[in-house]
């Protein structure tokens, strides 16, 4: 599984990062780095939860952060 973290700045100045391959995995931060770090942690939690609940088998994963 390959995941990408996308980020953008909101009108209020906060940064939003999301993992499009995992619906609902998004996080806000004061900086792009903070938002992406929070989104990565959340993505790993979602994957761990899926494994614990036998919703997905173990698979190699890769998380990429596009360089802006």
Rounded-to-integer distance, Cα 2 and Cα 13, Å? 29
Predicted confidence at residue 9, as pLDDT, reads: 97
In this structure, which topology does domain 2-64 adopt according to CATH?
Double Stranded RNA Binding Domain (3.30.160)
Predicted confidence at residue 33, as pLDDT, reads: 95
Predicted confidence at residue 51, as pLDDT, reads: 83
Q: What is the pTM of this model?
A: 0.78
Domain extents for the chain? Answer: 2-64
Predicted confidence at residue 55, as pLDDT, reads: 76
DSSP, res 11: T
Predicted confidence at residue 43, as pLDDT, reads: 93
**Mean pLDDT by 10-residue block, N- to C-terminus, for the chain (68 residues)?**
90 96 95 96 91 74 66
Which residue in the block uniquely carries the two structure tokens 């036998």?
54
Predicted confidence at residue 3, as pLDDT, reads: 86
């Amino acid at each position: 599984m390959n995941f990408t973290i996308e980020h953008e700045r909101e009108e209020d100045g906060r940064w939003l990062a999301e993992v499009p391959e995992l619906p609902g995995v998004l996080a806000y931060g004061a900086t792009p780095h903070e938002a992406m770090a929070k989104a990565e942690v959340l993505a790993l939690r979602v994957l761990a939860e899926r494994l614990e609940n036998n919703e997905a088998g173990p698979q190699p994963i890769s998380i990429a952060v596009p360089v802006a």
